[in-house]
Amino acid sequence: MQINPDLNFIKYLKGAGGDTLKKCYQCATCSVVCPLSGDNKPFPRKEMIWAQWGLKDKLVADPDVFLCHQCGDCTAYCPRGAKPADVLGAIRAYAYTHYGFPSGLAKLTTSAKNLPLLIGIPAAIILILWYISGGMHLPAGEIDFGHFFGHWDFKYLAKTTMFIDIIMLPTVGLALFSAYKGVSTMWGKMCEGANADPVWRPSCGKFMRDFLWPSVKEIISHDRFNECGANKDRARGHKPLMLAFIGLLIVTTYSFILKDFIGIVVPSLHGPLSLWDPFKILANVSAIALIYGIYILWTNRSNEESESGKKGTFYDWFLIYEIAVVGITGILSELTRLAGLPVLAYFFYFCHLVSIMMLFLYMPYSKFAHLVYRTFAMAFERYRDSGFIAGKSEA
């Protein structure tokens, strides 16, 4: 068999956290301790071989790479210090850029030197629209974020609501489209690798019922995280973070329906939610859970780096910083509003909008992309083990 290694890929892995790759001498200890490994699937041993050989195309189409949640058991027991978990993390980072669309934006998120631009793009967009809206001024009197972009007499849609829609809806749309393109391409590559017959495919309903929904339920329950031995604290930080995002998604959806649709016939709903509104309480509880979860993950990563003496990568820290800023600016904007500090309140609210736009805009290319890639990899795992791959079932 002829091997054509991608040397640039190997170089990338070594610079993105997989610098210990060449220490691996294929003892298979990692596959013995990994709960994802099976008799016919020596994970992550085969991925370490492919990575050493520079087989990029096989790795970015390997569902097992995305199934790994970096529990750290393989790294803890590796006798050579090859750190397979870090290598797999570097492979995923490469895959998110590889599948990313548009490619220029995906590549922008790969380096810390681009951080001023990563912050500057959303900040400039919001500043320009804030200026155009006529709402940019030093606030005085009662603080109302509903007037952040100004006020008009059009009772069916608040001016600030419209400008936030102009900013966030295209951002979310681009993120979803990029994620869809990336996952679709990955799914096709995984099917090729599994020799799946395109004739034998499940219907949309069967796919959702038998493959995707069970994967989502497993993610919510955190079953695989609970199998970790070396790094159990990741589940303690990751689960409240996940639940916080679910809570904030519910609140955002509620507010969108309330202000953009019901508000057309009931204009009084355009005002801020009461502190005692159940959805406002859910928002505040979710914000606290978000900060708690990110604190646990921040502490864990800092301790890991301190113990190993290894400096973290931009890929590892970018999402942690980003989520922390979202939570902190959200709470500070509310506290300064309640304290009657308009300049600080508007400043923190502006920073909050920028951080939220960053979270959505860079979702398909940062570590946040595991939200979609891992979910569909888990669905493919079920699909791969079903009769469809073997061609024994009817679509």
Confidence of residue 1 (pLDDT cuts 50, 70, 90): low
More confident residue, 377 or 71: 377
- The Cα–Cα gap between 236 and 292 comes to 10
- The Cα–Cα gap between 370 and 378 comes to 11
Query: What are 298-342's pLDDT values in tens digits?
Result: 988 888 778 777 777 888 899 999 999 999 999 999 999 989 898
User: What does the CA dihedral 44, 46, 47, 51 come to, rounded to 10 degrees?
Assistant: 140
Q: What is the pLDDT of residue 392?
A: 46
More confident residue, 251 or 17: 251
Residues forming a β-bridge with 41: 38
Q: What is the pLDDT of residue 394?
A: 41
User: What does the CA dihedral 172, 177, 178, 179 come to, rounded to 10 degrees?
Assistant: 90
What whole-number percentage of the chain has pLDDT above 70?
92
Confidence of residue 386 (pLDDT cuts 50, 70, 90): confident
Q: What does the DSSP assignment read for 50-65?
A: HHHHT-HHHHHT-HHH
User: What does the CA dihedral 237, 238, 242, 243 come to, rounded to 10 degrees?
Assistant: -40
C-alpha 339: how far from chain center: 33
Q: Nearest to residue 93, comparing CAs of 376, 321, 365?
A: 365
Q: What is the pLDDT of residue 108?
A: 92
Query: What are 99-141's pLDDT values in tens digits?
Result: 999 999 999 998 899 999 999 999 999 999 999 998 888 777 7
Confidence of residue 393 (pLDDT cuts 50, 70, 90): very low
Lowest mean pLDDT among 126-135, 162-171, 221-230: 221-230
Q: Calculate mean pLDDT across residues 144-160.
A: 81
Tokens at residue 211, please? 């493959």
Q: What is the pLDDT of residue 292?
A: 92
Q: What is the pLDDT of residue 161?
A: 84
Is there a contact between 76 and 3 (Cβ–Cβ < 8 Å)? no
Other beta carbons within 10 angstroms of residue 7's beta carbon come to 8
Query: What region, left, alpha or beta, does residue 73 occupy, with left being phi > 0 and alpha being psi -120 to 50 degrees?
Result: alpha
Buried b / exposed e across 254-274, counting CB within 10 Å, b at 16+?
bbeebbbeebeeeeebbeebe
Confidence of residue 295 (pLDDT cuts 50, 70, 90): very high
Q: What is the pLDDT of residue 318?
A: 92
Is there a contact between 36 and 67 (Cβ–Cβ < 8 Å)? yes
Q: What is the pLDDT of residue 395?
A: 39
How many alpha carbons lie under 13 Å from residue 382 in its C-beta half-sphere? 18
What whole-number percentage of the chain has pLDDT above 90?
39
Find the helix packing angle between 115-133 and 342-361, rounded to 10°. 120
Q: Calculate mean pLDDT across residues 389-394.
A: 52
pTM value is: 0.87
Q: Calculate mean pLDDT across residues 284-291.
A: 92
More confident residue, 68 or 307: 68
Q: For the chain, give the mean pLDDT.
A: 86
